[in-house]
Structure 1
Amino acid sequence: MMLRKFAAAVLAGTVLAAAPIAGALAQEKPQIAVLLFSRGFEFMVALDQGAQAEAEKLGVDITVLDGQSNTEVQTRQIEDLLVSGVDAIVISPNNSEEIVPAVRKANEANVPVVAVDGVVGEGADVVSYVGFDNAAGGATAADYLAGLGDISEVLELQGALGAYHAQKRGGGFNDAAKGKFEVLSRPAEWTAENAQAITADVLTANPDVDGIFTHNDEMIRGVLAGLRQIDKAAKVGEEGHVVIVGIDGTPLALQRIRDGEQDGTVNQDPFEMGALAVRSAVAALNGETVPPQQLLPATMVTKENVDDPDLWGNRFEP
């Protein structure tokens, strides 16, 4: 089944459909700002593209800002936007808790805020959280590994400890793995550099590890380098191959699957995520009721469906 059909079924019809701006809003052309936590990831660039395409469709002006993986930068951005008179804010927070005071200022100014791809912590209000079902993503990866039938010990390379994505993905993965295989969890802070060092160290000390799960696809670059470092870089189907699964569905991950370097990834669609976040902000400005949480589904990608044209990694153009 094509992924668009999956996306259409998100939350059993609670996802907002595109609609024109109503009444006075259509005449004033609302100003919406999208604050990315960082443009250093292809996923965020695709989310940006999805948001801009939807804004054009709905007839609103959009400004996209790069948070540079820094909460202080995002805080200043929100403060400047409130001074400039922005109508709504869409934010992918660098840190869920640290951004609370800035979002609270938007609340006080009656500027609706939509969180996308990451939640805003307690103490501030958002119209909606638009994201990926991270717990289901982790569970999907664990189910795939368990379904192979011969996986006994898996290295889990975690994102930043305390980060919403890492907690949810790790929780879903470990819950689904119980009774199926042993999990060795190590914090790698989302980076390929950390993943390389940890992979080499852990597999040297634990040669029975036969699977690796990473909280994002970016870390798999480091995983492969670490495996090469210790002469364990066998491809899919070769003797000694270590099964590798990530999350995101990036273009590089899809190519690695084609090349036999990566076994699978759990897809999440940033194009739809960005579009839905903008759609939700516009709906809030129109006075419409917006679901408080809108989660896109987790879909497993392997060599069997890696060429599906609906996968965002196959549609992405830098």
Structure 2
Amino acid sequence: MKTNKKRVIGLITAASLCAMSGFAVAKDITLGLSVDQLFESRVAVIDAIKAEAERNGYNIIEVVADGDAQAQNSQIQSLVTQKVDAILVCAVDQNTIERALIGAKRSGIPIIAYDRALPDSRAVDAYVGPDSITDGYLAGQYTAEQFKDSDEKVVILELLGALNDQNGIDRSKGFNDALKELKNVEVIAMPTDWDSARALAATQNAFQANPNIKAVFAATDTHIPSVETVLRDLNKIQPKGSAEHVVVTGVNGSNDGYQATLSGNADGIVAMDTNGTGIKTVKVATALINGESVEMNNVIPGNFYTTDDIEANKSAIWGAK
């Protein structure tokens, strides 16, 4: 059998050129994936990251901090010791892990913050995640539209996320920016720290003090079942268009939000593009590993779905079952 020497030489030359140009061979690339904690939407992004990494032939070392910032700090230091080619991090707390991130930076390891921005970090090379300001704005825009012709004061309950989480901060900003279109609005902001039990208590307390609340915005739609419980107890789950109807919106794309919107108990939710976030995170990491320039902020807006169109778009909602 005759060997095609030209073909063999061509393959060797291509590999050599790749190495000489500084581009890493796929099988030699290892991504360090530092996860704050595991919950539905985070897992959806992580699964997308892993799938895209596998398509590229990359290895992944995954570490999960379970909400412990000190543990995450040590885990990042371990990834540096293992000489990963890039670190993808969703931080428990930026201040606690900043020293470890700076250590990675000094070692020449690119750092990509995913799903949660770290705007004050001196080490992060790029951010990939939801466009939380736009996501909040879409929910606020819908809410404002429902009351645009009202001359009465519109009282709105806002269930805030965590006050130290950039996603929660930005969703609130976007939501409140949209409400500036209303003539007379009062927003009652209640912190939840992303906790459903706190969301339930906050909703109960808010309606007890302000029975005429006309709308509720949940920074995460996983809190909508808590809102439903309170509205049901107050006999305020009424069809859209009725005088007693309370407008309910949220951001995320969980099955809780999907089912509440499908039933009409919620007016609509903004579903995050978790798959797009995961794919983009790996693409940005690849570019940085290869020495290419990237945008610092790579944000991916979600889509707002109402009771009228959410079932038709079920496949686009990451948590829908």
Length-normalised TM-score, structure 2: 0.85
Partner of residue 26, structure 1: 25
Using the TM superposition, give the Cα deviation of residue 275 of structure 1 relative to its aligned residue in structure 2, in angstroms: 1.4
Separation in 1, partners of 2:158, 2:26: 51
Gaps spanning 5+ residues in structure 1: where?
1-21
Q: Residues 77-129 of structure 1: CA distance to partner in whole angstroms, max 9, x if unpaired?
A: 10111112211110111223332112111111111110011122534222211
Question: Is 1:299 the counterpart of 2:303 in the alignment?
Answer: yes
1:66 CA drift (Å): 2.2
Does the C-alpha gap of structure 1 residues 117 and 78 become closer, same or farther in structure 2, counting only changes over 3 Å? same
Tell me the residue number matched to 1:311.
316
Pairing of 1:5-20 with structure 2 (within 5 A): none
SS of the equivalent of 2:25 reads helix
Distance in 1, Cα, partners of 2:48 & 2:121: 29
Residues in 1 aligned to 2:125 and 2:118: alpha-carbon distance in whole angstroms: 11
Taking structure 1 as reference, are residues 99 and 229 closer, same or farther at Cα in structure 2, changes over 3 Å only? farther
Provide the C-alpha distance between the structure 1 equivalents of 2:26 and 2:278, rounded to a whole number of angstroms: 24
**Aligned equivalents of 1:167 and 1:27: distance in 2?**
37
Query: 3-state SS of the aligned residue for 2:63?
Result: strand
* Percent identity (aligned): 29
Equivalent pairs counted in the alignment come to: 294
Provide the C-alpha distance between the structure 1 equivalents of 2:130 and 2:51, rounded to a whole number of angstroms. Answer: 20
Deviations along 1:241-280, one digit per CA (max 9) or x if unpaired, are: 3211000112221122111221111121111111111111
Aligned: 1:102 with 2:100: yes
More off after superposition, 165-174 vs 143-152: 143-152
Deviation at 1:235, TM superposition (A): 5.4
Instruction: Choose the corresponding residue for 1:157, options 156, 159, 173.
Output: 159
Q: Which residue of 2 aligns with 1:6?
A: none
Paired residues of 1:101 and 1:124 also in contact (CA < 8 A) = no
What is the distance in 1 between the residues matched to 2:198 and 2:189?
13
Alpha carbons 2:117, 2:167 under 8 Å: kept: no
Unaligned runs of 5+ in 2: 1-16
Q: Does 1:82 align with 2:61?
A: no
Task: State the match for 2:198 in structure 1.
Answer: 194
From 233, 242, 247, the counterpart of 2:246: 242
1:184 is paired with a residue whose SS is strand
CA distance in 1, matches of 2:26, 2:301: 36
Please list the CA deviations of residues 137-185 of structure 1 after superposition, one character each: whole Å capped at 9, or x if unmatched: 1111111001113582110010111321122111121122125132111
Please, what is the CA RMSD of the aligned residues?
Answer: 2.1
Q: Measure how far apart 1:75 and its partner are.
A: 0.8
In 2, the alpha carbon distance for the partners of 1:236 and 1:73 equals 47
Shift of the alpha carbon at 1:313?
2.4
Does the Cα contact within 8 Å between 1:197 and 1:226 map onto a contact in 2?
A: no
Task: Name the amino acid aligned to 1:242.
Answer: V
The equivalences for 1:24-173 within 5 A come to 24=19, 25-26=24-25, 28-40=27-39, 42-149=40-147, 152-173=154-175
| Matched AA of 1:269 | D
CA distance in 1, matches of 2:292, 2:60: 20
Judge conservation of contact 1:204–1:230 (CA < 8 Å) in 2: no
Specify the structure having the higher radius of gyration (Cα). Answer: 2
Cα distance in 1 for residues equivalent to 2:194 and 2:75: 24
> CA contact under 8 A between 1:249 and 1:301: conserved in structure 2?
no
Q: C-alpha distance in 2, partners of 1:153/1:249? A: 25
Which SS does the other structure have where 2:140 is aligned? Answer: helix
The answer to whether the 8 A contact 1:152-1:182 is kept is: yes
Matches within 5 A, 1:173-252: 173-180=175-182, 181-234=185-238, 236=240, 240-252=244-256
The equivalent residue for 1:10 is: none
Distance 1:123 1:135, change over 3 A: closer
Is 1:253 the counterpart of 2:248? The answer is: no
Say whether the 8 Å CA contact 1:88–1:111 is kept in structure 2: yes
For 1:234 and 1:194, locate their aligned partners in 2 and report how far apart those are by CA, in whole Å. 24
The answer to whether the 8 Å contact 2:239/2:245 transfers is yes
Q: Distance in 1 between matches of 2:241 and 2:121?
A: 51
Partner residue, 1:15: none
CA contact (8 A) 1:97 1:121 kept: no
Runs of 4 or more above 4 Å deviation: 235-239
CA contact (8 A) 2:26 2:56 kept: no
Q: Is the 8 A contact 1:192 1:223 kept in 2?
A: no
Alpha-carbon deviations, 1:276-302, whole Å to 9, x = none? 111111111111211111111232111
The structure with higher relative contact order (CA 8 Å, sep 6+) is 1
The TM-score, its normalising length taken from structure 1, stands at 0.86
The SS at the match of 1:89 is strand
Q: Contact 1:93/1:118 (CA < 8 Å) preserved in 2?
A: yes
